[in-house]
Amino acid sequence: MATTQATSESLPVIALMGNPNAGKTSVFNMLTGLRRQVANYPGVTVEKASGIVRHNATQLEVLDLPGAYSLTARSPDEFVVTEILLGLRDDTKPLDAAVVVIDATNLERNLFLASQVLEAGLPTVIALNMTDIAERRGIQIDSDKLAANLGVPVIPIVASTGKGRVALIEAIEKAIGGDKPSPICDWPDAVNQSVEALSAEIAKRNGAAEPVTPYELRRCLLDANGEMERKLLAHHPDSRALAEFVSGQREKIKVSGHSPANLEAEIRYACIADIVSGCLKRTPNTQPTRSERLDNLLTHRILGTLIFVAVMTVTFISVFSWAAPLMDGIEAMFGALAGWVHSALGEGLLATFLTDGVIGGVGSVLVFLPQIMILIALITLLEDCGYLARAAFLMDRVLRVFGLGGRGFVPLLSSFACAIPGVMATRTIECPRERLITILIAPLMACSARIPVYTIFVAAFIPQKVVLGFLPLQGLVFAGMYFFGIVAAAVAALVFRSVLQGRTPTPFILELPSYKKPSIKLILWRSFDRGKVFVQSAGTIILAMSIIIWALLYFPRPADLETKVRADMQQAGITEPVKIENAVAGEYLRNSYMGRVGKAIEPAVKPLGWDWKIGMATLASFPAREVVVSTLGIIYNLGAGADEESTALRQKLQSATWPDGRKVYNIPVVLSIMVFFALCCQCGGTVAVIKRETNSWKWAAVAFSYMTILAYVGALVVYQVGIRIS
Amino acid sequence: MIAQNPRTLADLKASAKATVASLQGEPAVQQRLAEMGLTSGRQIRMVRVAPLGDPYQIEVLNYHLSLRRRECECVLLATDPA
Ligand SMILES: Nc1nc2c(ncn2[C@@H]2O[C@H](COP(=O)(O)OP(=O)(O)O)[C@@H](O)[C@H]2O)c(=O)[nH]1
Ligand SMILES: [Mg+2]
């Protein structure tokens, strides 16, 4: 690894560009053999994937860029492709060549982006991908003629099988250092004049600053509300005057009879029609294609909806039921490991640090992997066969009410299992603002970590009554908590929608690709890749949090405390070692730093109806909600083993009293606790993954703070209203 | 003569074909639609409307695209001779 990095400094760099789903990642994998490094481009949420191509004596560094239909960019995320192509990013070396991956089954639209790239002044190679599917559909493309018309090499490939790999690499090698392609479209005089005028204007105002290329100037003029304009103007001292100049030039273009917004597409598609006219043949389909017949069924008003519900149910249940045994297995494994360390090292600081801090922490990272990997595999399956786009098509109307789009449905549904893969699944949402809102509300869905919390309190305090003759009250409360999470998420989405006004309305544009057989290789690869990314990015954060919380719960440990407890127990005539151990553990915990903080903040949680023990257990569960149950277990001298099924813990909770003898727990208190845990963001993994996916601590902090405040206020209202009613 | 509202893509019935005349509305939206192939003179086909009445599925340049009603209203259609 180290040697690769050392040499990669001097290697030529190429980048893969193309429409979404054109096969860029498949080409990347074909070229590099699956080995890649992922990071984030600073300042944006876009993932930076790079790898090394090795072929005979050749070595190249290759970048896999996000999919784009056009170089027109209206957000920093979209702009990354344009910036890298033009060498405008400080964190990425200028490219030596561009490779445009185009989908042969959709030649004209894919050539739109290609025609833009050809003008960027870089040696370019076109990888004509999916030639196998094109052939099957009776689409014939004469790639030599296409190459001649475009003036750049066109290499037919099948990225999924590796066909054409060598030819592609050789073409890239030959292109590097070679001629720049010449543009294939001519611009009207009005545009050329405006570009010159703008160039002169900037030069006049800038003095010696680096010149802006005509290509960038044209992007700036033609892209309504574009990122290029923002970039040029932002760094300019006279930005206002320049902005006025730009709109003046746009007006001029309009007067000359062209609409600046549509001009580029009109010109390019006209050129493209000429270019493909001699080299593209389609057997005209007289009857609906297989894909259209499938659509008739899958988007049918009734049958389609039923199938949708069935598919989503199966997906959701699979995550739950397949992940559960694996998660239990991981927990058991780490439990056994901890037991082994204990038996090898005995009690004491080191052993406890290793078992409760380190092993427990690593276990709490890895325990998420089954859910993440299964869910990502299922979503990739749905996406790859084409169904995910249909699901978005069906659900868009519903989610739009909350300012979201159809693509938000699956991530939000996934969040009922676990918000971590749910947040990771938002990568399928193209609109950045919609994606952000979805990320922020996903943790409000009642994930599986809330179940133990609800279970213990419902079982201990909600009477086993039947209401309305057939509805079990406990079940109703449970369902109510799920519903409550959904309502809270809907409200939060509406609030975020009005707070986070987008700079420009991003139109909802959803390609509905033809259905196809999913690629098992891709599914497995994506699932492992996302698992790896999670461990790398969230692992350290969760581990650090676990160790800090462990230390706060463990220290200080004055020895006389234990002696005193043992003496008290002896006096009370209690001799069972387990009871004594648990009493000692409880006393240490109550006396720990966390316990002291818990007591200190009791005034803050009293308005919620909580005593300091609940407050402290809540603090201890900041890295993971479900920890509140086992912490309560230790506080009540039951040892760390008490879980949500523990009758002993239920009895302790039922009989817990304030110093004045009143019962701690009643219905308003229990509801206040459950509402708090429904709304809070007590999950280190979620916080870490939000940081990773938005590439900023800011949004992680926003999510954590808004949920914590919401949780506190929600619990406060429930308790205060509750005690007044009851 | 009474000025009539031009027919837009949003008015097109399922399975009907039409030709794009021009685009209207927010420039950024127009630009995106044009880039996806909705340029003047282009043949398009309304495939279907989603079960809940929105969005729409259309065919353009031999591929399928889903647009919301709002965006469809930006696409003005040429008056068909047929
Ligand atoms: N049949 C076939 N499938 C391909 C080919 N190239 C890519 N695919 C499949 O197309 C889908 C999308 O590919 P991907 O590389 O993820 O596209 P990206 O979005 O451009 O990165 C995957 O299921 C690939 O397996 C090809 O040449 N032939
Ligand atoms: Mg990709």
Residue B4's pLDDT is what? 55
Q: pLDDT by residue (tens digit) across A396-419?
A: 999 988 888 899 998 999 898 889
Name the interface residues of B facing A (CB cutoff 8 Å): 22-23, 26-37, 39-40, 42, 47-48, 50-55, 57, 61-68, 70-71
Whether residue A66 lies inside any domain: the answer is yes
Residues A159 and A43 in one domain: yes
Mark which of A175, A207, A227 sits at the end of a domain. Answer: A175
Residues A127 and A203 in one domain: no
Q: Is the pLDDT of residue B1 over 70?
A: no
- Report how far residue A553's alpha carbon sits from residue A594's, in angstroms, rounded to the nearest whole number: 5
Question: In Å, what is the CA distance from A440 to each residue of A44, A186, A403, A413, A488?
Answer: 17, 46, 13, 14, 12
Residues of A within 8 A of B70 (CB-CB) are: 507
The torsion angles phi and psi of A646, rounded to 5 degrees, stand at: -70, 120
Radius of gyration of chain A (CA): 30
Q: Which residue range forms the structural domain that includes residue A205?
A: 189-254
Residues A42 and A114 in one domain: yes
Nearest CA to ligand 1 atom 7: A23
Q: Is the pLDDT of residue A27 over 80?
A: yes
**ipTM greater than 0.90:** yes
For A511, which of B50, B63, B68 is closest by C-beta distance? B63
Work out which ligand 1 atom sits closest to the CA atom of A384.
Answer: 23
Kindly tell me the sign of the dihedral angle through the C-alpha atoms of A113, A114, A119, A121: positive
Residues A134 and A218 in one domain: no
Whether residue A509 lies inside any domain: the answer is no
Residues A101/A106/A112/A115 CA torsion (nearest 10 deg): 50
CA distance A202 to chain B (A): 24
Is there a contact between A692 and A533 (Cβ–Cβ < 8 Å)?
A: yes
Choosing from A16, A17, A21, A380 the residue with most ligand 1 atoms within 8 A of its CB, the one to mutate for a pocket test is A21
**pLDDT band for position B82 (cuts 50, 70, 90):** very low
Residues A10 and A148 in one domain: yes
Is there a contact between A158 and A23 (Cβ–Cβ < 8 Å)?
A: no
A130 lines ligand 1 (CB under 6 A): yes
Cβ A109–B63 below 8 Å, yes or no?
Answer: yes
CB pairs under 8 A between A and B: 137
Q: pLDDT by residue (tens digit) across A427-441?
A: 888 888 889 999 999
Q: Which of B59, B63, B76 to mutate to test the interface with A (most CBs of A within 10 A)?
A: B63
Q: pLDDT by residue (tens digit) across A210-258?
A: 778 889 999 999 998 888 988 888 777 778 888 899 999 999 999 988 8
For A262, which of B31, B57, B62 is closest by C-beta distance? B31
The torsion angles phi and psi of B15, rounded to 5 degrees, stand at: 70, -5
Residues A211 and A165 in one domain: no
For A507, which of B22, B51, B71 is closest by C-beta distance? B71
- Report how far residue B57's alpha carbon sits from residue A285's, in angstroms, rounded to the nearest whole number: 19
Whether residue A230 lies inside any domain: the answer is yes
Whether residue A161 lies inside any domain: the answer is yes
- Report how far residue A511's alpha carbon sits from residue A514's, in angstroms, rounded to the nearest whole number: 9
Cβ A397–B54 below 8 Å, yes or no?
Answer: yes
Residues A70 and A13 in one domain: yes
Q: Which fold has domain B9-77?
A: SH3 type barrels. (2.30.30)
Find the helix or strand (DSSP H, E) in which A705 lies. helix A697-725
Q: Is the pLDDT of residue A29 over 90?
A: yes
Long-range contacts of A708-711 (CB under 8 A, 24+ apart): A708/A680, A708/A681, A710/A488, A710/A492, A710/A679, A710/A680, A711/A675, A711/A676, A711/A677, A711/A678, A711/A679, A711/A680, A711/A681
Arithmetic mean of pLDDT, A502-530: 86
Q: Is the pLDDT of residue A386 over 70?
A: yes
A135 lines ligand 1 (CB under 6 A): no
Mark which of A114, A148, A175 sits at the end of a domain. Answer: A175
Eight-class DSSP state of A357? I
- Report how far residue A668's alpha carbon sits from residue A676's, in angstroms, rounded to the nearest whole number: 12
Whether residue A21 lies inside any domain: the answer is yes
CA distance A408 to chain B (A): 15
Residues A108 and A61 in one domain: yes
Cβ B39–A264 below 8 Å, yes or no?
Answer: no
Instruction: Specify the residue for token string 């009922």.
Output: A416
Are β-strands A47-55 and A58-64 bridged in parallel, bridged antiparallel, or unpaired? antiparallel
Q: Which of B29, B30, B35, B74 to mutate to test the interface with A (most CBs of A within 10 A)?
A: B35
Whether residue A89 lies inside any domain: the answer is yes
Mark which of A254, A271, A305 sits at the end of a domain. Answer: A254
Task: Flag whether residue A502 sits within 8 Å of chain B, measured between CB atoms.
Answer: no
Residue A432's pLDDT is what? 83
Q: pLDDT by residue (tens digit) across B6-63?
A: 589 999 999 899 999 999 998 989 999 999 999 999 999 999 999 999 899 999 999 9
Angle between helices A432-441 and A684-694 (to 10 degrees): 170
Residues A130 and A42 in one domain: yes
Residues A168 and A193 in one domain: no
Nearest CA to ligand 1 atom 28: A130
Cβ B35–A70 below 8 Å, yes or no?
Answer: yes
Residues A58 and A107 in one domain: yes
Task: Flag whether residue A255 sits within 8 Å of chain B, measured between CB atoms.
Answer: no
**B41: its two tokens:** 């003179």
Q: For chain A, what is the domain count?
A: 2
For B36, which of A389, A406, A509 is closest by C-beta distance? A509
Long-range contacts of A194-201 (CB under 8 A, 24+ apart): A194/A221, A194/A249, A194/A250, A194/A252, A194/A253, A195/A221, A197/A249, A198/A245, A198/A246, A198/A249, A201/A242, A201/A245
Residues A110 and A159 in one domain: yes
Whether residue A124 lies inside any domain: the answer is yes
DSSP secondary structure letters along A655-668: H-B-TTS-BS--HH
- Report how far residue B58's alpha carbon sits from residue A162's, in angstroms, rounded to the nearest whole number: 33
**pLDDT band for position A318 (cuts 50, 70, 90):** confident
Q: What is the CATH number of the domain that holds A162?
A: 3.40.50.300
Whether residue A656 lies inside any domain: the answer is no
- Report how far residue A426's alpha carbon sits from residue A404's, in angstroms, rounded to the nearest whole number: 12
Angle between helices A143-150 and A260-277 (to 10 degrees): 140
Question: In Å, what is the CA distance from A394 to each residue of A237, A510, B53?
Answer: 48, 12, 10
Q: pLDDT by residue (tens digit) across A445-454?
A: 998 888 889 9
